[in-house]
């Protein structure tokens, strides 16, 4: 994946649900952020061990099973690494019904969060100073992570906004009106060249989605 030199970004795509897990690093550092580790945790661990990189934080954009499936394996390998999630989705980590794994019959759970995130507080680790944006709609406690440490800015967007699409809003705590509001007020207010790395599919930009996304266009 090509990125500006201030950001080294690697991607592990889980075969189940095609979910994107991101490994974000700064040059010349031996630590990293892991965003939304999915079902292929072994591949993430192998990559980090080969690169001799240690995770400084595990960041979940939300608590659905495909985005938290790797939490337990990573915490077993690096038990001191903090696990972080938006405060209003924290219950999903340990509740298979809430994280949607129960209805699929496999009852997945994650360790409980070490840190609960709220908008306005920010989060710093591995050389990244992140802004936390609360973006409910796909789930009640969905958050995205905004990094302004380079131009263009970068958003790790979970299941809020995709290239040409948006996250599902038909789950028990979803709300389609809040989903649209979150996109319009939190993402579409960012510069057009801001890069969005979503939880599924290819990256996009805010400007591209404002112009062409058939579900939510413009401001």
| 217 belongs to a structural domain | no
SS3 48: helix
- Measured distance CA(35)–CA(52) in Å, rounded: 18
Whether the per-residue pLDDT at 62 is higher than 50: the answer is yes
**Residue 218 in domain:** no
- pLDDT band of residue 217 (cuts 50, 70, 90) is confident
Residue 207: per-residue pLDDT: 98
Task: Kindly list the distances between the CA atom of residue 52 and the CA atoms of 47, 48, 73, 79, 169, in Å, as whole numbers in the listed order.
Answer: 8, 6, 17, 17, 39
Condensed to tens digits (0 to 9), the pLDDT of residues 134-162 reads 999 999 999 999 999 999 999 999 999 99
Asked if residue 203 is part of any domain, the answer here is: yes
pLDDT score at 15: 86
pLDDT at residue 39 tops 90: yes
Residue 211: band (very low, low, confident or very high) from pLDDT cuts 50, 70, 90: very high
Cα gap 181→87, rounded to integer Å: 19
Please measure the distance between the N-terminal and C-terminal CA atoms of the chain and give it in whole angstroms.
29
CATH number of the domain encompassing residue 44: 3.60.15.10
Starting from the edge strand earliest in sequence, which strands make up the sheet with 20-25, in order? 8-13, 20-25, 31-35, 54-60, 83-86, 115-117
23: pLDDT strictly greater than 80: yes
Name the β-bridge partners of 124. Answer: 129
Residue 1 has pLDDT above 70, yes or no: no
Is residue 128 included in any domain, yes or no? yes
Q: How confident is the model at residue 2 (pLDDT cuts 50, 70, 90)?
A: very low
How does residue 219 score in pLDDT terms, banded at 50, 70 and 90? low
Q: Is residue 19 domain-resident?
A: yes
> Does a structural domain hold residue 1?
no
Identify whether 87 is part of a domain: yes
Cα 193 to the center of its chain, rounded Å: 19
Q: What's the number of domains the chain is made of?
A: 1
For tokens 């934080």, what's the residue?
Answer: 57
93-129 pLDDT tens trace? 999 999 999 988 889 999 999 999 999 999 999 999 9
Average pLDDT of the residues in 159-173: 97
Q: What is the residue range of 54's domain?
A: 8-212
52 assigned to some structural domain: yes
């Amino acid at each position: 994946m090509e990125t500006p030199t201030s950001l080294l970004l690697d991607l592990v795509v889980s075969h189940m649900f095609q979910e994107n897990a991101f490994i974000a690093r700064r040059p010349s550092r031996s630590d990293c952020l892991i965003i939304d580790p999915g079902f292929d945790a072994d591949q993430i661990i192998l990559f980090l061990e080969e690169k001799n990189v240690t995770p400084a934080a595990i960041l979940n954009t939300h608590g659905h099973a495909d985005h938290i499936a790797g939490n337990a394996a990573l915490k077993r390998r690096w038990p001191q690494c903090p696990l972080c999630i938006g405060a209003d989705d924290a219950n999903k980590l340990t509740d298979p019904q809430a994280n949607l794994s129960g209805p699929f019959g496999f009852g997945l759970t994650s360790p409980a969060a070490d840190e609960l995130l709220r908008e306005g507080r920010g989060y710093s680790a591995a050389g990244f100073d992140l802004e936390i944006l609360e973006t409910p709609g796909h789930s009640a406690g969905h958050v995205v992570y905004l990094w302004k440490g380079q131009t263009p800015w970068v958003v790790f967007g979970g299941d809020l906004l995709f290239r040409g699409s948006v996250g599902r809003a038909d789950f028990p705590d979803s709300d389609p009106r809040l989903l649209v509001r979150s996109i319009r007020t939190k993402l579409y207010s960012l510069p057009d060249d801001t890069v969005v790395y979503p939880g599924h599919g290819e990256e996009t930009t805010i400007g591209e989605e404002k112009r062409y996304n058939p579900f939510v266009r413009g401001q």
